[in-house]
Structure 1
Amino acid sequence: MNILGIDIGGSAVKGAPVDTKTGKLLAERLRIEAKGKLTPAQLSAAVAEIVRHFRWRGPIGAGFPGVIHGSTIRTSANLSKRFIGCDLAALIAKAAKTRGAVRVLNDADAAGIAEMRFGAGRKRKDSVLVLTLGTGVGSAMFFNGLLFPNTEFGHLPCNGHSIEKDVAASARKLQNLSWHKWGCRLGDYIRTLETLVAPAFIIIGGGVSARHEKFFKYLKTRAPVVPAEFLNEAGIVGAALYAGPAK
């Protein structure tokens, strides 16, 4: 079954059709840069452009960087606050002008689903923590392949702000941190998560995972840590898988 996957992020909206039997993109993804904090109107325009680009008329899955209950957005830390209370599935369906099914979920949960089905977490039956490092920090927890949704560990409080302000990939660039300093800071954060949830296996995704050799050596975690296999395509693939037939 082919499904259009859409990954809504702090810096861009990305989409591509996905073969849900293999987890492969059926075409090169389209990336639309966000101008400032993305608003519902801007998202609608981006979705419409992606749908036109791929001439899409079928089902759609989308991941959003916030807590999703059903199809309603409950938090929006790095995008416009206008999203809070929005029915994301209805917004996307209207923008796409489709009567096909639209399913939505947290973006890190989507990335985790891709990694657990076809990537670094496939066949694992123990507890797995997936972290996505980008504009913010997304997190997803799995046990025996089953998702516990909306963990949002990137928003643990630290000195009056969310911890992601210190450990996201964007923080390294904004604060001009060396790989060593940022890696040690990230390692401290992950060890805190190990105290809270004690994962048996950790997967780190986001674009920065392609450069994992720069910082993995500084993490010093109890659980094994591996880079995500899908890199920046994980959110697209996972959103499509979530919208596909149940496994």
Structure 2
Amino acid sequence: MAKHHVALGIDIGGSGIKGAVVDLGKGEFTTKRKKILTPKPATPEAVIEVVAQLIDHFADKIDDKTAVGITVPAVVQHGVVLSAANIDPTWIEFEGEKALEKRLGRDVHLVNDADAAGYAELHYGAAMDENGLVILTTLGTGIGSAILYRNVLVPNSELGHLEIDGKDAEDEAASSVKDTLGLTYEEYVPRLQRYYSVVEALFSPDLFVVGGGISKDADQFLPKLKLRTPIIPATLENRAGIIGAARLAHEERGRHD
């Protein structure tokens, strides 16, 4: 396969930094996924060195024209990181894209991790058949979100931080809350119902897609939610961030070529 039909995706997470080369036609890995543990503390300098190791690992599978997309668990505006979830607070206000490009000697595209996951689900996963407004949420340590409309990503939505009943939504409805409080799914569902009802009222989406590790148990809670909007589990699992980052980077490169 010509290398310009592939892109490299790298997903920076709280516990691991993972990468793979992605076939952009199929949305599948063309290599084995490589994972390196996230350094402690996860400062920009330390994380960038791990990213450089991953680039080296895939050096024989990519060339100078191969797009590289990198996710980070944070708000990213024009390459600048504006928040820090599960990474070191020194990322805040850090010019991440520029620093990565300087260290790696190549163009990269830095994107929020939930946005990347949503974009992957839109093109290759659960939302492939939906042309209207899609909202992806990831239920995990917090609640990530991605808003997608007719193939356009509205970045950095942060719907996990909606204030609902005077509280930050993810403090009430993230899957980590279920685990911390030892809730059964029956006890957890009312928290999700309140959250998704508010998001539905604000956006009237055509489809909700629910990702995060808990989505593998989707049959235990999604059918119990009473919403007008169809709500379905994500299908790409932990591959979504890598695949979405690769696709977004490829499209961004195309706009500048």
Provide the TM-score with structure 2 as the length reference.
0.86
Alpha-carbon separation, structure 1, partners of 2:167 and 2:87: 16
Alpha-carbon separation, structure 2, partners of 1:159 and 1:238: 33
Structure 1 91/136 Cα, relative in aligned 2: closer, same or farther at 3 Å? farther
Match of 2:89 among 81, 101, 120: 81
The answer to whether residue 189 in structure 2 is matched with residue 183 in structure 1 is yes
Match of 2:151 among 129, 140, 145: 145
Structure 1 211/40 Cα, relative in aligned 2: closer, same or farther at 3 Å? same
In the TM superposition, residue 220 of structure 1 has moved relative to its aligned partner by: 2.1
In the TM superposition, residue 169 of structure 1 has moved relative to its aligned partner by: 2.2
Match of 1:61 among 60, 69, 72: 69
Structure 2, unaligned runs of 5 or more: none
Counterpart for residue 234 of structure 2: 228
Counterpart for residue 5 of structure 1: 9
Structure 1 133/38 Cα, relative in aligned 2: closer, same or farther at 3 Å? farther
Alpha-carbon separation, structure 2, partners of 1:218 and 1:244: 39
- Residue type of the partner of 2:94? C
Q: What are the equivalent positions in structure 2 for 1:1-247 lying under 5 Å apart? A: 1-34=5-38, 38-55=42-59, 58-95=66-103, 97-99=104-106, 101-157=107-163, 162-245=168-251, 246=254
Alpha-carbon separation, structure 2, partners of 1:202 and 1:25: 25
In the TM superposition, residue 37 of structure 1 has moved relative to its aligned partner by: 6.1
Alpha-carbon separation, structure 2, partners of 1:12 and 1:136: 17
Alpha-carbon separation, structure 2, partners of 1:33 and 1:182: 31
Task: Report the structure number with the largest CA radius of gyration.
Answer: 2
- Give secondary structure in 2 for the equivalent of 1:244: helix
Q: Is the 8 A contact 1:73 1:87 kept in 2?
A: yes
Alpha-carbon separation, structure 2, partners of 1:191 and 1:135: 21
Provide the TM-score with structure 1 as the length reference.
0.89
Alpha-carbon separation, structure 1, partners of 2:132 and 2:41: 37
Alpha-carbon separation, structure 2, partners of 1:32 and 1:215: 33
**The 10-residue stretch of structure 1 (101-110 or 212-221) with the greater mean CA deviation from structure 2:** 212-221
Aligned-pair identity in percent equals 36
- Give secondary structure in 2 for the equivalent of 1:63: strand
1:138-179 Cα distance to aligned partner (Å, 9 max, x none): 111122222111110011235776321222222222222222
- Residue type of the partner of 1:156? L
Alpha-carbon separation, structure 2, partners of 1:48 and 1:193: 39
Aligned-residue RMSD, C-alpha: 2.2
Structure 1, unaligned runs of 5 or more: none
- Give secondary structure in 2 for the equivalent of 1:109: helix
- Give secondary structure in 1 for the equivalent of 2:69: strand
**The 10-residue stretch of structure 1 (64-73 or 208-217) with the greater mean CA deviation from structure 2:** 208-217
- Give secondary structure in 2 for the equivalent of 1:41: helix
Q: Is the 8 A contact 2:70 2:110 kept in 1?
A: yes
In the TM superposition, residue 195 of structure 1 has moved relative to its aligned partner by: 1.2
1:198-235 Cα distance to aligned partner (Å, 9 max, x none): 11111011222122112213322221111111111111
Alpha-carbon separation, structure 1, partners of 2:93 and 2:111: 14
